[in-house]
Amino acid sequence: MQRVKVKELLHWSSKSLANSSSPDIDVWVLLKHALRVDDAWLISNGQTLIKDQDEMRFRELIDSRKRGIPVAYLTNSRQFWSKDLYIDSRVLVPRPETEILVEAVLRCARRFQSPAILELGTGSGAIAIALSSELPDATVTATDISQDALAVAGINLEKHECTSVNLKKADWFSGLESGRFDLICSNPPYVASGDPHLKTPELQHEPESALIAGKDGLDAVRQIVSAASGYLHPRGWLILEHAYDQVMPIQAMMANARFVDIHSEKDLMGHDRVSLGRRPEWPDHAQGRRKPGNADTPIPG
C-alpha cells in the first residue's frame, strides 16, 4: 500500500463525508483519534506520511462515520462545559445548546446558599458535572431510569472527581423525597415520535428513550411539570430544556401547575430553548387563594 500524507488523507476523507454537516471537523477529530495525536501535531505535520496500520484504523472510523455513527461514539469523548466527557452509545451525545440550560440553572442558583439541585434524566452526567464544578457548595442529585446511562454518568463523575453529585436510578420523581430541592432541572426527551428529524443518521444511533417523548414530544415534560412543585422548596425553580417550537405549551403547562415568574431563554439561533418557572412562596397560591401582601412577582411579559 502506498503511504499517504496527513494533508491528503484529510482532504480525501472530508470529501467522502459529504453527508455530514461538519465533514472537515469530523475528519480532523477522527484522524487525531486514530493517530493518537493532538491539534498542534496535526497542524504541523501535513506532509508526514501515515503508517499503514494508522491509515487502516482511520479508514474504519470514516466508514463508521459514513454510516451515521456520531463522532463522540467513535472517539468515546465529547467536550461539554470545557470538560472532556466519556461518551458511548448508551447515552445521548451532549449538545452545545444544553449549555444554555446550565447557564440558566447557575443564574437561579445564585439566589440560594448551598442549593440542593435535582437533575432528572442525567444521561452522561454532563449537566450535573457542569453544575457541581461551578457550584462547589451545591449538592446535586442526578437521576436516570436507565442503568446503562447511570454507568456512563458514574464513569464521568469519577473522571472529574465530582463527589458532590449523587446518582440515583429513578423514573422521573419516583422514590425521591418530596419538598427537598431548591432547583430542579432537566433536558428530557422532547422529540415527537413522528418527527422526520429522527431519520437523520446520527439520531438513529442514539438511545430512543433519551430522545422521543410520545406523539407531541411533550410526554416527559408533562410528567415533570405536573409533579415538580411537590419536590421543590417554596421559591424553588424548575428549569427545562425543550425544542425550539415547544415554548408555548410548556409555559402554559407551568402556568397551569401554578408556577410564577415563568420565562424562557433563547439559543444562539434566537429560539426559546429553556423555560423556567418558580414555585410560589405560599402554598395557598397553589390552591388559587392568593395571600394578601404576597411577595411573588408577576409573570414577565
Here the cell at position 61 is 472510523
Q: Which of residues 125 and 189 has its CB atom nearest to ligand GLN in the complex?
A: 189
Burial class (CB in 10 A: 0-12, 13-18, 19+), 271: middle
Instruction: In whole angstroms, give the CA distance from residue 157 to residue 153.
Output: 6
| Contacts for 222 with CB less than 8 Å, ≥ 6 apart | 253
Gyration radius from the chain CA atoms: 22
Give the nearer residue to ligand GLN in terms of CB position, either 140 or 192: 192
Q: How far apart are CA 277 and CA 254, in angstroms?
A: 7
Q: State the minimum distance, in angstroms, from the CB of residue 286 to ligand GLN.
A: 28
Binding region for ligand GLN (CB under 6 A): 95, 187, 189-191, 203, 211
189/236 with CB nearer ligand GLN: 189
CA distances from 200 to 18, 100, 189, 204 (A): 14, 24, 16, 7
Q: Which is nearer to ligand GLN, 14 or 187 (CB)?
A: 187
Looking at the Cβ atoms of 155 and 191, the one nearer to ligand GLN is 191
Please provide the size of the chain in residues: 301
For residues 5 and 205, which CB has a smaller minimum distance to ligand GLN in the complex?
205
- Minimum Å gap between C-beta 112 and ligand GLN is 26
Residue 138 beta carbon to ligand GLN: minimum distance, rounded to whole angstroms: 23
Minimum distance, C-beta of residue 64 to ligand GLN, in the bound complex (Å): 20
Helices 126-134 and 147-159 cross at an angle (nearest 10°) of 30
Query: How do 116-120 and 83-85 pair as beta strands?
Result: unpaired
